[in-house]
A and B are shown apart, each in its own frame.
Chain A
């Protein structure tokens, strides 16, 4: 810590930081543009100028840029100094020379950092009286809108896109006051993090193109604290509603998970909520006709289906809340509570839980801070995208140690990058196919899942001879894998050469072991991506070996969906068992909770299951193949319309809250309660609110006891008041429903949370888990998060939201024993593995038009040599057969796929329900 003096008053600040960081942490309003809490200082915009004095006697002082000046002991600065004030005002005036002042028609208006800073500096009259420069805008894809005339040349966009997120297809062109930020030509931005430009840009150059289709000002939206449902990481989001429609998603800062950034699937996947395919009221199917029915009638009909059933089968969902799944389990009983997932997937999830309970688990912040990483089997960029952004920062940790020696402060971003150059910390990528992180990898290894597991076992054995499995030597000379040493050209454009010869497995294992063992915070990443138990076990073994070597090693495991772990913790049984029950019993009623079985299990099995049941009740958001077979369908609330709890990949329970209040749609647990009460199960009528369900849940599952603490209960009040979901400038409240009734309706009640559907309530900062949107006096943009943090870029006040359900174990867990045998390619057959696509592999987001546009067409991929050997060419129509079903798609040549392996894009409709990995012939069809 250091004492600095701001306008004469002493303050304690972090001596490792710069003056801007210090001033903002202290709560001062010091304007800035080019600095960003996650991107550091570069000194371009000159907006944060303050006066610095050498000593108390120095009355003259000199202007310094706060972001570029260390907060050193005894520093004396003035924010209020007239010269500094005038200079900061001048900077805005300079920016306003060319800024079009089109705020009324700009999507950023009302949450624009440039507006805020303009007001903050007091600039109100522009003396520049010449024509403004103009640019041509570019088409950048379905997500990001481009309006270059608004640019103030702060360089944040290009720094985020290239330097932070590793994108290549975006740059700054030209010089002077004509710097142009965009692509070399029109086209879809390649980076899956491009959407962050919306928030990184301090004004309206980059805005949300999906929001544009149904635009509403920030002040006119009703927000809720929420959790992203498009992968298992649990990024915190802030959905915004107006007129009953979900308008957009923005990042909700979480110091341990997403920080300031989301992936584009999480940001733009929301449009399924507004889909025309939404089920908006209960439906009944009779005589082949699907017809809407009044709520009460549907509930009573459902009650009859339950009451008359010999057996009630409940199929839960890994994309439904803990509460809804729990309600189903309570209603149907533990023995008849199933997941849509297969035995294989549930086994993997239970293995994941076992590892998480016995291994120190890394949050995304920990991933970012790791200084040596081994990725086993996971295509992180496509499977758990936000984690890839954290991994990109992890490779900077070792260079930081180097630049520390040169006494370059870590926040001095470009100086650090110039000193570190292309030097990167160790990141080893062992995956089935190439990944978008390979460009920063030290080494990449490509092999079949079993080979990846063997590499992990070999690394563990190298670290600790006591570790189980195979010695490194036994795995050498592997035919099915190839090691590609990353070539890093000076330009940084170096790509690993493809087709490198089979290399020495053993030395690779040694290199990895050495790098992990030499690190201060080593990390192993794995997950369910390649659907292999041995890979998960190998990952755990490496961490355990490191722990035994005294290293504070951690593990991070990616899971398929937003509540995969929650469902597994509730003890859901595999779909195969549900099928067996359905076959054995006649007169069953099956309830499908937010689950399109056709995406989970082979179509023929699902057909059998659905035909075997006497009555079918489905609860879901959108029409799908499963709901189409149901006799009764209930409109289940999406994440945006409901409250509940999700357990993310680290075992963190997080609560999400509703932003929308659609009339006929309600939470699945409420439908289930109503149906079962109608069936005579009166005990469920005790569930009046979400907290009642949570109460039952924690008493039933001691493991989940902490779920109650994930967020304050509904009874929570701040000085006797609720927390408003609407900003204090929310407009049209009295007029917006005047077409229906001239009297202003009473806002909807919310018995489930302490948030109100109103602009009224306590204006103070709520607890971190209940912050609906970031807004603070004078800070209308996302930059307002500064005002919610204990320290800038640190934890939110009162701690980051959510509770970790698993405590780090006191000592390293036992080694897993059974190393797999070497992968043996087969003659004329391929091991078909899942390939993931950030846009396309996730069920809900693909229902949003932009994501759909960027998702791949179906394909079957294999290595070029393989294809040649089989007499196949790219684009040939080929067929594979798995689980009794055959799949036809165009052949794609992927040189990165190992020998004996073929891949298909999971998630796209054609491959719905396919169970992978599995062996299949691949043959040309005419």
Chain B
């Protein structure tokens, strides 16, 4: 293990973005130069061996994802590489830091990934509200084009790459891999049928890879420093460092790049500084709103894809939302379910009907109209929206905080029933 922080180490203290010159001075654009000499299969091979897993939340092994893209002269073209920068997960703000602080790092990562799949065109699909990211990416893209790093024959090689910034019109669904593809094509951001996977039939029907910003930002470092170095960044089997965050009533809410597998307790107590004075810790959502609650008993769990899953939640984006004792857990879950019900694209029945129903019931609890029978309904809705029952992962993710709240905070629900009002009001 090393204490290196490759993703954030070059960022400036004043929060300004690195210019192309500054980025290169810090060693930037060496990874892509090397990658251009390697050939697609070698890049994918190296990334596979690095055990890099997708940082968008699902944790799919990156190299493995790329391996399904058809290569060579018979492959369909244009192929597309898309940076998923539609960071809409409640409580999550990690990609924003990467784009605002070091946009060239993302661009270089996209170049590397584009080489691995022989992509011709790349897009940054950016959350519309990320105005500063948009400005800085726009400038960085212009710099890269001017330097010959984008366009035809990049870095003097024989290959080209067009890269465009696209600002999302803004819906949670646009961050879903295939919803994003539809949105980028100018269609409703409904998710698509899988299979066929985007690697075979993606944007405009062509082979496409959609990758989270943080995942892409890791790539130049893996190419530059090698597999072993990358693995050593981590405390766990999943390679690399990770951007972790915390929000809620902690002393120091924020975002830190730490070794993958840092424990939840360390994040909460050392980096976030523990709970604010006068409030007690009750639980947390480890990786955004669409993950299950964890509690006191889970503070020793390592934050990585495997370990968090073992205790019934998901690391997700790795940005924790902390619940304290002065906040009503039912109210918190109501707020989340209202968000998810609102963001349902309306395609599949469990999602559009189940989430709004859950939200209505939770609202009834908050108004003092909840009943014990309602708890059964909520449990039923959670099962109704289970993975496989719905068209995409939105609803299964949406009910994760609800199903775990029913497990860990059942008494709080019952207090609402007994007292016929929200005890926190």
Contacts and interface: CB of A to CB of B under 8 A. Distances in A.
Given A44-B348, A44-B349, A91-B350, A418 B201 contact: yes
Interface string A465-500: 000000000000000000000000011000000000
A176 B345 contact: yes
Contact of A63 (B185, B344, B388): B388
Nearest to B340: A176
Contacts of B192: 414-415, 418
Interface in B370-388: 377, 380, 384, 388
Given A176-B352, A177-B344, A62 B388 contact: yes
A887 interface: no
Contact of B388 (A44, A64, A128, A153): A64
B384 A87 contact: yes
A414 B193 contact: yes
Nearest to B345: A175
Nearest to A173: B188
A176 B193 contact: no
B306 interface: no
A803 interface: no
Interface string B169-205: 0010100000001000110100011011000110011
Interface in A391-436: 403, 406-408, 412, 414-415, 418-421, 423
B143 interface: no
Interface string A324-365: 000000000000000000000000000000000000000000
A407 B196 CA distance: 8
Interface string B307-347: 00000000000000000000000000000000001111111
Nearest to A171: B188
B357 interface: yes
Nearest to B386: A63
Contact of A130 (B171, B355, B360): B360
B389 A44 contact: no
B346 A42 contact: no
Interface stretch (A45-53, A137-145, A189-197, A580-588): A45-53
A179 interface: yes
A94 B193 contact: no
Given A46-B390, A90-B384, A491-B186, A176 B349 contact: no
Contacts of A179: 346, 352
B186 A490 contact: yes
B344 A419 contact: no
Contacts of B220: none
A582 B371 CA distance: 90
Nearest to A154: B349
Contact of B346 (A177, A406, A421): A177
A882 interface: no
Contacts of A490: 185-186, 204
Contacts of B390: 46
A406 B356 contact: no
Contacts of A175: 171, 173, 343-346
Contact-residue bracket for chain A: 35 or more
B135 interface: no
Contact-residue bracket for chain B: 35 or more
A91 B357 CA distance: 13
A415 B196 CA distance: 7
Interface string B390-421: 11000000000000000000000000000000
Contacts of B196: 406-408, 415, 419
Contacts of B345: 175-176
Interface in B183-231: 185-186, 188, 192-193, 195-196, 200-201, 204-205
B354 interface: yes
Contact of B356 (A44, A68, A97, A491): A97
A176 B348 contact: no
Contact of A46 (B204, B356, B391): B391
B205 A419 contact: yes
A420 B205 contact: yes
A208 B350 CA distance: 30
A880 interface: no
B346 A46 contact: no
B157 interface: no
B353 interface: yes
A60 to B, nearest CB: 12
A178 B356 CA distance: 11
Given A172-B188, A414-B192, A406 B349 contact: no
A94 B349 contact: yes
A59 interface: no
Nearest to B369: A129
A153 B352 contact: yes
Nearest to A174: B346
Nearest to A175: B346
Given A155-B347, A176-B344, A177-B353, A44 B391 contact: yes
Contact of A94 (B188, B384, B391): B384
A175 B182 CA distance: 15
A42 B193 contact: yes
B389 A45 contact: no
A490 B206 CA distance: 14
B205, B343, B349 pick with most chain A CB within 10 angstroms: B349
A42 B349 CA distance: 13
Given A94-B357, A128-B357, A63 B389 contact: yes
Contacts of B347: 44, 155
B162 to A, nearest CB: 15
A175 B356 CA distance: 12
A94 B201 contact: no
A418 B343 CA distance: 23
Contact of B341 (A152, A176, A491): A176
A178 B380 CA distance: 22
Interface in A153-193: 153, 155, 172, 174-179
Contacts of B205: 418-421, 423
A491 B204 CA distance: 11
Nearest to B352: A177
B393 to A, nearest CB: 14
Contacts of B341: 176-177
A42, A90, A412 pick with most chain B CB within 10 angstroms: A90
Nearest to B355: A176
B283 to A, nearest CB: 28
B205, B356, B360, B380 pick with most chain A CB within 10 angstroms: B205
Interface string A58-94: 0000111000100000000000000000010011011
A406 B200 contact: yes
A43 interface: yes
B86 to A, nearest CB: 16
A415 B193 contact: yes
A64 B347 CA distance: 17
A72 B344 CA distance: 32
Given A43-B391, A94-B357, A153 B349 contact: yes
A877 interface: no
A95 interface: yes
A412 B197 CA distance: 13
Interface in A6-49: 42-47, 49
Contact of B204 (A153, A403, A407, A421): A421
B254 to A, nearest CB: 33
Given A43-B391, A176-B341, A490-B186, A419 B201 contact: yes
Given A97-B356, A415-B201, A127 B186 contact: no
Contact of A68 (B193, B343, B350): B193
Contacts of B357: 94, 97, 128, 130
B188, B200, B354, B356 pick with most chain A CB within 10 angstroms: B356
B193 A43 contact: yes
5 contacts: A47-B349, A49-B389, A90-B350, A128-B360, A130-B360
Across the A-B interface, the 4 shortest Cβ-Cβ residue pairs:
A94-B353, A179-B346, A419-B201, A415-B193
Given A174-B346, A176-B355, A415-B193, 7 more contacts: A49-B389, A175-B346, A176-B352, A179-B346, A403-B201, A406-B196, A419-B201
